[in-house]
Structure 1
């Protein structure tokens, strides 16, 4: 194994419900392809991979404010929409469930990363303007360096994607990279 021992790959919200949204359906194949290349490179290099999904309880205890305001929940545990994208190979991935945009809030992600000696996370998945950005910002808050893998991130609000990436970089809270840069980094 040649890997970069202080990296981890975070794959966020690669779930059926998210990729069925308008604006995301058409990029599903591209996204899965990019994420698959990343995941395979991480596996080969011994980089830990965390598959992070959003799921809620029907009893309203995990609902966000907008869900409570609308009195309408979604992504309930066990529903078909919560399933990981069927064409994604999830072997060797550690699963973490979240209930908010950030992969850090209410999860044991920080403890797991500290146990593994991780100091940088590479982030890919859905959606750039929400879960990807919040996960990157919260990595910074936990003194974990973050890199957003831009060609392995999709968003239903494409008009906001570039702006949120620019803000992350300007605020020095994340770096940006492409899939091939990560593959090269992990193959050293």
Structure 2
């Protein structure tokens, strides 16, 4: 079974420039994917970064720069208000990889999911790390056309190329998936 996996579609990630400028277009694309999944009867899984104020779980760069994102109890952890979605499953993560320190793999197995369509931010970080780990767990991964983006277009393009060449993960549209 296929599932739509939404990653870090949160206020803290899409408020600062340059993602703020891409927000409307990204939200429209992701909403089309959400509607596609609902029409196809596929599970929608939302994974959000939520960090405690205790720095011990922050990523190294956040600790070194003393600049965390998505701190628990702040508006920044909230789902983008424009998205109309009631996910079948919501998980919280603390690192880029949605599998790291979560029970995502067990949950996917419980839903009999063996194929993921990824949407969210940012391409070269959370999307790429999650996609690579999914591959390591023998899950087929497709990248949602228009549904992923980055602060840096060159990194975005390079990450998509790497995922395709290394892991055979293609950028697809809903029509490509039937």
* TM-score interval for Structure 1 and Structure 2 normalised by the shorter chain: over 0.9
How far off is 1:116 after superposition? 1.0
2:31 and 2:84 in contact (8 A); partners too? yes
TM-score normalised to the size of structure 2? 0.94
Q: Structure 1 residue aligned with 2:15, among 16, 20, 27? A: 20
TM-score normalised to the size of structure 1? 0.89
1:21 and 1:156 in contact (8 A); partners too? no
1:84 counterpart = 2:79: yes
1:30 counterpart = 2:25: yes
Evaluate the alpha carbon distance shift between residue 18 and residue 71 of structure 1 in structure 2; reply closer, same or farther with a 3 A threshold. closer
Q: Gaps spanning 5+ residues in structure 1: where?
A: 1-5
1:123 counterpart = 2:118: yes
Distance 2:66 2:121 in 1: 24
2:135 match: secondary structure: helix
Q: Structure 2 residue aligned with 1:169, among 152, 164, 173? A: 164
Runs of at least 4 residues of structure 1 off by over 6 A?
none
Distance 1:16 1:147 in 2: 25
How far off is 1:173 after superposition? 4.6
- Equivalent residue for 1:3? none
- Equivalent residue for 1:8? 3
Q: Structure 1 residue aligned with 2:48, among 42, 47, 53? A: 53
Distance 2:168 2:108 in 1: 18
2:115 and 2:140 in contact (8 A); partners too? yes
1:113 counterpart = 2:108: yes
Q: Gaps spanning 5+ residues in structure 2: where?
A: none
1:129 and 1:157 in contact (8 A); partners too? no
How far off is 1:61 after superposition? 3.0
CA distances 1:44-99 after superposition (whole Å, capped 9, x unpaired): 21111011111101112321111222334331112011110001112243111111
Evaluate the alpha carbon distance shift between residue 136 and residue 173 of structure 1 in structure 2; reply closer, same or farther with a 3 A threshold. farther
1:52 match: secondary structure: strand
- The number of residues matched between the two structures is 178
CA distances 1:115-143 after superposition (whole Å, capped 9, x unpaired): 11111100011111111111100100111
